[in-house]
Amino acid sequence: MPRFALLFTALFLFIAAVSAQAPPPQRPTTATVIPVEAAKQPNPVKATPESLERGKKWWNMDCATCHGKTGDGKGETAVDTKLTIPDFTDPAALKDRTDGELFYIIKNGHQAMPAEGQRIKTEEGWDLVNYVRSLVKTKAPAEQKPQTEQK
């Protein structure tokens, strides 16, 4: 019997040691699938100067640390933690996203991005969508080559 107790104790310690070294379970990502109804939701807030100013206020408080002050995806936290964040100044970055999708992501989070949830009022969320859209930098048209005169 003592031999069985010794074997049982050794097995228990072995299992405990292996379990302690196992990587922690991955936290599920949030908002990986945006409901169709949310994606189709139109933005009820016009992109007025007042709306953009309110959105900028939220951006500077909660978003710029990762997304960058200009929306280039190079905020201090993103750089320090080596996060890859889309450059919202690039017109292609959000061209396939609806305002409803952006609003849903802001409210519910997405991948490593935390949710604003109840911290932000509905209208403020739409203001933030308007502000994110305003970050796009239009590229200057490529300089045209001067036409050579034909003889």
Query: Which CATH number characterizes residue 119's domain?
Result: 1.10.760.10
Q: Rounded to whole angstroms, what are the CA distances from 49 to 11, 33, 126, 131?
A: 68, 32, 13, 10
- Name the percent of the chain lying above pLDDT 90: 66
Has residue 96 been placed in a domain? yes
Q: Give the global pTM.
A: 0.71
The confidence score (pLDDT) of residue 143 equals: 44
Has residue 11 been placed in a domain? no
- pLDDT, one tens digit per residue, over 30-61 is 446 899 999 999 999 999 999 999 999 999 99
Has residue 103 been placed in a domain? yes
In the chain, the number of structural domains is 1
Has residue 74 been placed in a domain? yes
Confidence band for 7, pLDDT divided at 50, 70 and 90:
low
| Domain enclosing residue 112, as ranges | 47-134
Both tokens of residue 132? 């994110």
Has residue 77 been placed in a domain? yes
Mention every residue, 6+ apart, whose C-beta is less than 8 A from residue 84. 73, 78
Has residue 21 been placed in a domain? no
Has residue 144 been placed in a domain? no
Contact 39, 99 (CB under 8 A): no
Has residue 70 been placed in a domain? yes
The neighbour count for residue 47, using CB atoms within 10 Å, is 17
The neighbour count for residue 49, using CB atoms within 10 Å, is 7
User: Is residue 128 helix, strand or coil?
Assistant: helix
